[in-house]
Amino acid sequence: MDYNKNAGIDLHIHSNASDGTFSPAEILDLAQELDLGAIAITDHDTVNGSKEALSIGIPSSLKFLTGVEISASPPPPFSYSASLHILGYSIKIDNPALNKTLAILQEARKNRNPGIVARLNSMGVALSMDELLNEVGDGQLGRPHIARLMVKKGYVESIKEAFDKYLGKGKPAYLDKYRIDCSTAIEIILGAGGIPVIAHPYLLNPGNVADLEDFIIVLKKMGLKGIEVYYPEHSPHIISLFEDMANRHELLMTGGTDFHGSLKPKLKMGSGTGNFFVPYILYERLISSA
Ligand code: AMP
Ligand code: ZN
Ligand code: FE
Ligand code: FE
């Protein structure tokens, strides 16, 4: 079967190797069902989702990019209320330096969770690490899992409410975690033969996207190759601002939904909240740059 060049693509998908609820096999099945042309599995700080998809075998109708989404910190004086995520595409998943750094980040995630649970407990939210670990299976425990358990146990109505009241950055149960700086994140992605792209930049500074340009220039000097221009939370106006920025600085454009299965119930793979669409040509430009 030939692949579908008229199809959309989705280059930002989480599997149950991090905080998505679909396994890599289910993601491959769904992408085929939706007739997507290309996808990437971009789990937080792990390549296990991509690895599993490759070992299952990629259907001939679908193009697949290995991926990762690394939580990083910006260099001073840049500082943002949301966390900085760097996507890495087409990485060699067995690269030793990449895997060594990801192992450190995974450890930092593990060490953070008991502290969040302790804060919740002290606020009268009764849940334990054992209950949480039951929620996750083999994946990597993160705040969305904690939020889901809070919904299940009736402490909040929705995952969003759990973040807004307890778990979001700056909220009472929030704990920061160790992050690598973004120059290191970019370096290890490049070192693993990959393409570093800044994820959902609008979320960093929703008030003033134009102010992000200086930061993007700094990231480009570090080796950044692209901007995630197309994202469900980017309005048409915001998209055009990022398209212009990408063109001005000769950066690639990528796009994806940030699909998390039932942990972001409003977001569908490929189509986001409805009419989101990322054209196949962006996948072709991305791989031809590698
Ligand atoms: P963690 O990896 O534990 O830091 O959690 C990051 C995940 O939490 C990402 O998948 C985000 O999409 C999700 N997240 C962060 N802030 C919010 C929020 N305000 N509402 C819902 N999900 C959020
Ligand atoms: Zn996530
Ligand atoms: Fe992200
Ligand atoms: Fe993501």
Q: Which domains does the chain have, with CATH numbers?
A: 9-102+181-289 (3.20.20.140), 104-167 (1.10.150.650)
Please report the atom of ligand 1 found closest to the CA of residue 18: 2
> What is the predicted pLDDT for the residue at 136?
87
What is the distance in A from the centroid of ligand 3 to the CA of 229? Answer: 13
Our answer on whether the CB atom of 44 is closer than 6 Å to any ligand 1 atom is yes
Express each pLDDT in 229-279 by its tens digit.
999 999 999 999 999 999 999 999 999 999 999 999 999 999 999 989 999
Distance 125 CA to ligand 3 centre (A): 26
- Residue 196 vs residues 121, 163, 262: alpha-carbon distances, Å: 38, 28, 27
pLDDT of 6 higher than 70: no
Ligand 1 neighbourhood includes 261 CB (under 6 angstroms) = no
pTM, two decimals, is: 0.95
Q: How far is the CA of 131 from the CAs of 64, 127, 150, 152, 158, in angstroms?
A: 34, 7, 11, 11, 18
Distance 82 CA to ligand 2 centre (A): 13
CA distance 69 to 85: 6
